[in-house]
Structure 1
Amino acid sequence: MVKLLPLTPCAGLLPLEIGGITVTEVALERIYSVAPLAGKTMATSTALKEQIGLGLSAPNRATSNRSARMQWFGHRTWLVTAAVDLDELAAVTDQSDAWAIIRIEGADVEDVLARLVPIDLRAATFKNGHTARTMLGHMSVAITRVGGQVFEVMAMRSMAGTLVHELEVAMRGVAARSNF
Structure 2
Amino acid sequence: MAELIAKTPLDDMAPLTIGTLTLAEVDLGILTSIAPYAQVKIAEPFKATHGVAWPAPNRATGKAGARAIWFGREMVLLAGPKPDPTLAEHAALTDQSDAWTAVTLSGDDAGDVLARLVPLDLSAAHFKRGHTARSQIQHMAGSITRIGSDTFLLMVFRSMAGTLLHDLERAMASVATRR
Give your verdict on TM over 0.5: yes
Deviations 1:4-23 (A, max 9, x none): 11100111644211112010
Cα-to-partner distance string for 1:75-110 (whole Å, 9 max, x where unaligned): 000001222222231000000111100000011110
Counterparts of 1:77 and 1:12 in 2: how far apart (Å)?
29
Could you tell which deviates more after superposition, 72-81 or 6-15? 6-15
Tell me if the contact between 2:15 and 2:24 (Cα under 8 Å) persists in the aligned partners: yes
Work out the CA distance in 1 between the residues paired with 2:9 and 2:93: 22
- Once the two structures are superposed, residues 8-45 of structure 1 have per-residue CA deviations (whole angstroms, 9 ceiling, x without a partner) of 011164421111201001112201000000111x2x11
Gaps of 5+ in 1: none
TM-score with structure 2 setting the length: 0.94
Q: CA deviation at 1:120?
A: 0.3
**Structure 2 runs not aligned, ≥5 long:** none
Quote the residue 1:69 is aligned against.
Answer: 67
SS in structure 2 at match of 1:87: helix
Residue 55 of structure 1, CA deviation: 3.1
Identity of aligned residues (%): 48
What RMSD over aligned residues (CA atoms) do the two structures have, in Å? Answer: 1.3
CA distance in 2, matches of 1:36, 1:93: 11
Aligned pair count reads: 176
Supply the AA of the counterpart residue of 2:157: M
| TM-score after normalising by structure 1 | 0.93
What corresponds to 1:11 in structure 2?
A: 11
Q: Distance in 2 between matches of 1:167 and 1:108?
A: 12
The one-letter amino acid of 2:24's match is T
CA distance in structure 1 between the partners assigned to 2:14 and 2:157 by the alignment: 16
Pair 1:29 & 2:13 matched: no
Specify whether residues 26 and 48 from structure 1 end up closer, same or farther in structure 2 by C-alpha distance, changes over 3 A only: same
Whether the aligned pair in 2 keeps the contact of 1:53 and 1:65 (CA below 8 Å) is no
